[in-house]
Amino acid sequence: MTTERSSLDDPLFRPLQVGALAVPHRVWMAPLTRLRCLEPGDLPIPLMAEHYAQRAGAGLIVSEATHISPQAKGYAGAPGIYSDAQVRAWQPVTAAVHAVGGRIACQLWHVGRISHSSLQPAGLPPVGPSVLPTQARTSLRDAQGRPMRTLCSPARALEVSELPGIVDAYAAATRRARAAGFDAVEIHGANGYLLHQFLAAASNRRTDAYGGPIAARMRLLLEVVDACADTWSADRVGLRVSFGASSSPELADDAPEANALTVARALAPRGLAYLHLSEPDWTGSGEGLAPAFRHALREAYPGVLVGAGRYTAERAREALRQGWLDAVAFGRAYIANPDLPERFRHGAPLNEPDATTFYGGGAEGYTDYPVWNAVS
């Protein structure tokens, strides 16, 4: 038996203005790497149009992470947004979402050191802020084309002279995302990838203008944000960040909450569409964000705040009622429930996701999850 909630009474289903976008409700689809793209070329496949269109009932879809350049690639089977061929391959995907009334943002990705030399141009080492060992793993493809986990290759430190080129690559990717029909872009500054590597004290040991105090460590992030905003419009740009203590020593920060608030205050006047929090409990381990920090963050950043972590519908409703968040993005639940907002609206049961089909493969575990039938 299910119970339908009134949209006026349910905080999940109140409309929201997100920069230039008017979204009908607060249930978003989080970015979900699925590694089904065509190689070589890092091209979206036609099946992706069906996958995203099935989920177009989201308030906003944030696409799977999409690398901005060949150097930015870290996972075999992930899509790119750095070539004209990729723009053409993305266009049917965004058109399919729009045809059923949806909205979709392209998540712009540079993995930094989380890569393997076999994925890099000319087999070169991956890049990062500093030369440091890592136990992180990435994903290659085996001889049969199946995902294969492997340790990342040792990275080299980026020269200061290379950083403007990375900023330019984000700007170029923004232009291409717009040409591909996306409604916005989301800069991926979270989850241990390049911009997060620059922010975290443990992964950034630089002694130049991009290392040391947080004001210097956040310099590259702000340059990227400004370049993307200048290329399109600030109200078409979101940013994903990992605020709070990291569960990985390789991404430890010297003052996680204070530094997060410093970053938030620097972002506040820039007029971005939203700030997307990849919360520290998203992996199922670690502590969530403390209420005191959430209140401080709301004061530091008055714009649209989106949360993603181990949220249930009820936890999401409570975060919205408390004013901590303006929307909540769901990941694994959206993998298995293409009609997730309707299930939440009616209190319907959820399909369980099949983890064996998360990465690589075809339609199985991708476009074949059943929708809920209100009559049954």
Q: Would you call 108 helix, strand, or coil by DSSP?
A: strand
* 3-state DSSP percent of the chain in helix, strand and coil, to 5: 35, 15, 50
Average of per-residue pLDDT values in the chain = 96
Q: What is the pLDDT of residues 180-209, one digit of tens each?
A: 999 999 999 999 999 999 999 999 999 999
pLDDT at position 5 is 54
Residue 286: which pLDDT band, with cuts at 50, 70 and 90? low
Alpha-carbon distance of 340 to 28, in angstroms, equals 9
Residues contacting residue 207 through CB under 8 Å, at least 6 positions apart: none
Tokens, residue 6:
């009134």
Q: What is the pLDDT of residues 308-335, one digit of tens each?
A: 999 999 999 999 999 999 999 999 999 9
Out of 193, 210, 359, 369, the active site residue is 193
Residues contacting residue 33 through CB under 8 Å, at least 6 positions apart: 64, 65, 75, 78, 359
Exposure of 252 in the CB half-sphere (CA atoms within 13 A): 6
* 241-252 mean pLDDT: 93
- Token look-up 């723009």 returns 87
Minimal CA–CA distance to 329: which of 232, 219, 240? 240
Torsion angle, alpha carbons of 155, 72, 104, 318, to 10: 10
Residues contacting residue 213 through CB under 8 Å, at least 6 positions apart: none
* 11-31 mean pLDDT: 98
pLDDT at position 374 is 65
Alpha-carbon distance of 324 to 212, in angstroms, equals 31
Q: Where are the alpha helices (DSSP H) in 33-134?
A: 47-54, 84-99
Query: SS3 for 16-31, per residue?
Result: EEECCEEECCCEEECC
Residue 346: which pLDDT band, with cuts at 50, 70 and 90? very high
pLDDT at position 8 is 62
pLDDT at position 1 is 45
* 123-127 mean pLDDT: 98
Neighbours of 150 (CB within 10 A): 12
Q: What is the pLDDT of residues 35-55, one digit of tens each?
A: 999 999 999 999 999 999 999
What pTM does this model have?
Answer: 0.97
With a cut of 50, say whether residue 373 has pLDDT above it.
yes
With a cut of 60, say whether residue 78 has pLDDT above it.
yes
pLDDT at position 247 is 85
Tokens, residue 260:
């997060």
Chain CA centroid to CA 249, Å: 22
Minimal CA–CA distance to 102: which of 204, 172, 221, 22? 22
Question: Tell me, what amino acid is at 81?
Answer: I
Residue 376: which pLDDT band, with cuts at 50, 70 and 90? very low
* 86-112 mean pLDDT: 99
* 341-370 mean pLDDT: 97
Describe the crossing of helices 291-300 and 256-267 by its angle, rounded to 10 degrees.
20
Query: What are the boundaries of each domain within the chain?
Result: 11-357
Neighbours of 264 (CB within 10 A): 22
Residue 243: which pLDDT band, with cuts at 50, 70 and 90? very high
* Catalytic-residue membership of 193: yes
Greater pLDDT, 73 or 375:
73
* CATH architecture of the domain with range 11-357: Alpha-Beta Barrel (3.20)
